[in-house]
Structure 1
Amino acid sequence: MLGVILFALPLGRLFNSALADQPTVVELFTSEGCSKSRVADALLSELAGRPDVLALSFHVTYWDRMGWKDPFATENNTRRQRDYNEALGRDSVYTPQMIVDGRFETAGDRPRAVGEAMAESLGQPQARRLNIAVEAGKGMIGVGIPRGPIPRGPNGGEARVLMVRYQLGRGKSVKAGENRGQRLRHSNVVREIVDMGAWTGSARNLRVPMAPAGYGVAVLVQEFDAEGRPGAILGAARVERRLLGAGVTPWEALVRTMRAAARRMTGGDGGAAPL
């Protein structure tokens, strides 16, 4: 039933090929120790198959004391979630939580709420959305960040360029905790975030290492407030390499998504319609 919900959003906006180069960024904060996270993991996996979405899974550590230590959880991920929630005015953190474009938060196991948050983010003024260009070759990724309005982070903050390295797919059998006996499947598991410096509104070119097979590399331009807490994501781009070769282009991914949607809507594969 997950996939049916977001068809309420305007298809012209969700499947506009231009959005493949300007994806909506959806960050899931999750833990293998949380039973509700299984639903959120499945939802994120559907989102990860869309060219207009950059879906990232951040595993957090505070569930580790509940009987199962999540092997993908890091303190950096936990700190990022806490900083988000402080910036958004929340008193505490929880799982599963999704943050959309650094602006909106919602429970990650509620597909309709996630869809509404994505629609609200898409409805924001797009003048500040940076069309970041990426090109892979010779073991490196060339990144072009265009000139744009001088960023004005909250309370005197600034915009930073982040490189995010993530693993496209991982499976894990959980032997304790709330998910004991479950085989969990994760998509786009964040393994590293590197701060590449400030973006001041001027055009910037940089090179980052190519992702190994089975990994993706994303580049984000994100606002931070004066306390160093993350805020609105101004632009994003990614390059992914599948285990059997280089990742598909956004257009190829779009075609595959639409074909899958047609099959599911006609009952061709017996599943729910994709997001």
Structure 2
Amino acid sequence: MGWHGHLKLDYRRTHQRTTVLDQHNGPLRVLQSLYPEGDAICHNVLVHPPGGIVSGDVLAIDVNVQAGSHALITTPGATRFYRSLGDPGLQTLTTRVAEGSRFEWLPLETILYPDTLAENRMRFELAPGAEMMGWDVLALGLPASDQPYDSGRYTQSIELPGVWLERGRIDGHDTRLLQSPLGWAGHSVLATMWFAAGGALAAPRRDTLLDAAREAVSTSALRTTAGCTSAHASVVVLRALAHRVEPAMQLLTEVWKRWRQTAWSLSAAQPRVWRT
């Protein structure tokens, strides 16, 4: 039997301050709320004391961001899916963002160990007038330890209902996907980042977000393996392939800074945990 954990976070704005009510069961917690940008924006660090997800673990995170509030969630380190002994590990994130609120989902990377059997589901429900930024950085295997991801299966889904539904499976034996120039092209890191709204973005605003991301890509070490598109009027998506996590995170952080300024007129107050 693996760990079964459930964490519910309820963000609300009272007297110009965003606060969070958390309820947990099992090995999921948030640390003390931080306010490096003032009372309006609540920063939380999501921790999983066991340090990774193993065979049979089921972890569920539910986030409600109520009207007028602004929440930012990150993690203190990588999320690790370890070798499975038979049963898959499962992590789910369900987020509801109310009208006039903002949400930032900015975890550090997810690492798949060889022989992983796991699934990660993310669903973001945005009401009209709600906006969010999020990213996901997926790293295959442990290249520095000469442990490639050459066996195992991982399934991931990212869903913005009615706007964007992405579901993919990575099999360590699937060399056509992992080695082909039409797939991962031998890279071990895939970064995905998005800006989304609960309704169509005005065309000039969407173009500004695209331009900001493309300008950051043009000066990045990943400029030949990264790009930004908007296949739907409510979402802008950035993709990048890399051989290491660090340049991918550097690019995402730079785009995050630019999008924050462009979309919300906010400077980037980087969570302190990113520098530890």
When the two structures are superposed, what TM-score results if normalisation uses the length of structure 2? 0.28
Would you tell me which structure has more strand in proportion to its own residues? 2
